[in-house]
Amino acid sequence: MELNVGVVGVGVMGTYHAQVYAGLPGVRLVGVADPDPFRQAAIEQDLEVPAFSSPEELLGKVQAVSIASPTSFHYEQARMFLEAGVHVLLEKPMTRTMHEARELVRLAEQRGVVLQVGHIVRFYRAVNDLMSMVKTPWVLEARRIGNNRRIRDIGVVLDLMIHDLDLVLLLLREKPLRYSVVGRQVDGLDEFAQAVVDFPSGARALFTASRISPQAERSLTITQPGEVLRLDFNSEYTELSLHRSPPVQPDPDRVEPNGRTQVQTERIAIHNDNPLRRQLKHFVDRIQRGEPSLVTLEDDLQALELALELSNALQPVMSR
């Protein structure tokens, strides 16, 4: 039997959700909701499904829904669907406060429905490979920068940096010990932020996120004993680089004439294989087949908590 799904909020990301659902086997996209009549018309024309002005109009029509509306609407909209027994995929950031997030988790558990947070980076194949390669990292450095101020209701920490906060927390499986953060505000929102987070194991994570940088970069570099791992994300492929240092007593055959030792380098290009489709299929499979969740809701709460703490503690180095 097909799963009837809908999408709330069909801006850029919500439109992608609707397009993927329209092509997923075992899924029927029954409608979308958005207050913008131009977006409604575009979806009705492109996907030939009804478009409504309010999410309430999807109630009774859907068994599952993606919510990709602005963050300020997440809590009320997700709560409405969860209370109606509808499974919810909620785009990140989950909510504006920890109280709201915990209330949604409680409600989902009470109603026995799936609540999944849309952390798309978890569904990159290269990230899956990385999980088994990280052992005892010393330093992790994440950079997520570009020139895109499309999101205007939250700052850069909750918009961009949260992706890397979530990934590092999943890799280390530790709660932060202490942190510091600085940034730059433009028009009242943090648009550039740098954070340093220390963990009980001694690992240190450095995060840079920007929506006002002229050049785009999405990377994660991990230094651990004997090697450096680096992920370079782009639209189609993620390059995974592995740089291994020579042993303390280098092999004479690997010593160059100038006295330097050779560093082994491996590079692998891993096709991203539409991580949004993998994410939405995982959501559907959890509902239809009872597939176990890739992460826990506690993982989602921890990522949001750290992002909110950093956002609240951000001290602007310059504002205008």
pLDDT digits (tens, 9 = 90+) for 99-143: 999 999 999 999 999 999 999 999 998 998 899 899 999 999 999
Domain-wise residue ranges, the chain: 3-118, 125-276+304-316
| String of DSSP letters for 32-70 | EE-S-HHHHHHHHHHH---EESSGGGGTTT-SEEEE-S-
Determine contact, residues 18/48, Cβ cutoff 8 Å: no
pLDDT above 50: residue 224 = yes
pLDDT above 70: residue 261 = no
Determine contact, residues 35/53, Cβ cutoff 8 Å: yes
Helix (H, G, I), strand (E, B) or coil at 288: helix
d(CA 169, CA 166): 5
pLDDT of residue 267: 82
Mean pLDDT to the nearest integer, 172-193 = 91
Determine contact, residues 93/304, Cβ cutoff 8 Å: yes
For residue 4, give the nearest of 106, 87, 119, 114 by alpha carbon. 87
User: How many angstroms from the chain centroid is the CA of residue 19?
Assistant: 19
In this prediction, what percent of the chain has a pLDDT beyond 70? 92
Mean pLDDT to the nearest integer, 147-168 = 90
Q: Grade residue 248 by pLDDT with cuts at 50, 70 and 90.
A: low
| Three-point CA angle 140, 278, 271, nearest 5° | 65
For residue 55, give the nearest of 47, 70, 46, 42 by alpha carbon. 70
For residue 141, give the nearest of 65, 203, 221 by alpha carbon. 221
Determine contact, residues 40/8, Cβ cutoff 8 Å: no
Q: How many C-beta atoms surround the C-beta of residue 277 within 10 A?
A: 16
d(CA 303, CA 297): 10
Handedness of CA 99, 103, 109, 114 (dihedral sign): negative
Mean pLDDT to the nearest integer, 91-104 = 97
pLDDT above 70: residue 191 = yes
pLDDT above 80: residue 250 = no
pLDDT digits (tens, 9 = 90+) for 24-48: 999 999 999 999 999 999 999 999 9
Q: Grade residue 91 by pLDDT with cuts at 50, 70 and 90.
A: very high
Tell me yes or no: is domain 125-276+304-316 CATH 3.30.360.10: yes
Q: Grade residue 68 by pLDDT with cuts at 50, 70 and 90.
A: very high
Q: Grade residue 320 by pLDDT with cuts at 50, 70 and 90.
A: very low
pLDDT above 50: residue 178 = yes
Helix (H, G, I), strand (E, B) or coil at 161: helix
Q: Grade residue 220 by pLDDT with cuts at 50, 70 and 90.
A: very high
Mean pLDDT to the nearest integer, 37-61 = 97
d(CA 237, CA 271): 5
Mean pLDDT of the chain, nearest integer: 91
Determine contact, residues 88/113, Cβ cutoff 8 Å: yes
DSSP structure class, residue 54? S
pLDDT of residue 162: 97
Determine contact, residues 104/95, Cβ cutoff 8 Å: yes
Kindly report the pTM of this predicted structure. 0.91
In this prediction, what percent of the chain has a pLDDT beyond 90? 77
- Nearest 5°: phi and psi at 26? 80, 10
Return the CATH superfamily for domain 3-118.
NAD(P)-binding Rossmann-like Domain (3.40.50.720)
Place of tokens 């020139």: 147
